[in-house]
Structure 1
């Protein structure tokens, strides 16, 4: 399911209040993570402190905490059970949650204690569209194909001048980092496509909202 460019896989169950998801694996254990909504609200994640060891977790108890420059918050478990492992990759590189919350950015794996009882407290995508859409609207969530490291708001500036500033920024940032550029120049889409072809930098995503254009640019060389 997709809502306003935010993806929610249909094979998962969702704890809508806590922005977490649960996947039931073939062996009966479960994998838990956070939805695209949480990192979109939090911004670029800079720290993930996850619990370690085989400990008992109650539904709603924290599996760890996530931090960004503007957010600090727990990761409430959507289910009770024994914590089998947490994702060390996320602890080392929290940004992975921003980029891949449903795959590489999973948080924990548990052996559930009361799955038949507690799964009825979770929601399928068919039951989640309206509350998720309301939350996305409430928090002004934007989901892009790549999560931005940098923001450029260039309202009222001609695109030719914007591209000079974009080139200057790209010259200072590491490979692989992503820029979210906002422009109200009506020619910006045509000029951005031409710029991407000319510079061979990646125009990963774009959209128009009202009179504003949003571009996602990834530095690839």
Structure 2
């Protein structure tokens, strides 16, 4: 795991280089979440709305909307696909994302329409980490986590 300004950046994930991470699962689905820098910039999350299972999304459409006291925004998927699972815990307690955005605070699992090209618009490894570190520096982000 890489760390920059207190922001954790797991090297085994794929990133859209703004604020979404993607994790491939063994069954071919892709799990979506938001990055540590994104959860820090949003502030303590108070509300989450996640698309229902069975919803089809085009690339760039929002799989979820998150709200804090100072920010509201969508979580886009970088590929087209069908929502096959959503993290029901986040509907009750969205600030779990502020505690650990990578482990239990995933947002949704999506079955991509085109598995061979689903990750074409995201980066991983050192290329992703370097770009995210530049993003953190550009916006002056100092990551912090909420306590439970």
**Which whole-Å deviations, capped at 9, do the CAs of 1:75-118 have from their partners, x for residues lacking one?**
10122111112111011101100111111110001111113223
Please tell me whether the aligned partners of residues 82 and 112 of structure 1 are also in contact (alpha carbons under 8 angstroms): yes
The corresponding residue for 1:12 is: 13
The corresponding residue for 1:26 is: 26
Within 2, Cα distance between the matches of 1:53 and 1:5? Answer: 34
Within 1, Cα distance between the matches of 2:10 and 2:78? Answer: 16
Q: Which has the higher contact order (CA 8 A, sep 6+)?
A: 2
1:109-124 equivalent positions in 2, closer than 5 A:
109-124=109-124
TM-score, length basis structure 1: 0.63
Unaligned ranges ≥5, structure 1: 149-175, 177-221
Within 2, Cα distance between the matches of 1:102 and 1:125? Answer: 16
Partner secondary structure for residue 104 of structure 1: coil
Within 2, Cα distance between the matches of 1:129 and 1:102? Answer: 15
1:153-192 equivalent positions in 2, closer than 5 A:
176=148
Larger Rg: 1
**Which whole-Å deviations, capped at 9, do the CAs of 1:2-46 have from their partners, x for residues lacking one?**
2222111122111113x1011111111111101111111111111
Structure with bigger helix share is 1
- How far the C-alpha of 1:50 sits from its partner, in A, is 0.9
Deviation >6 Å, runs of 4+ = none
- How far the C-alpha of 1:55 sits from its partner, in A, is 1.4
TM-score, length basis structure 2: 0.92
Partner secondary structure for residue 117 of structure 1: coil
Unaligned ranges ≥5, structure 2: none
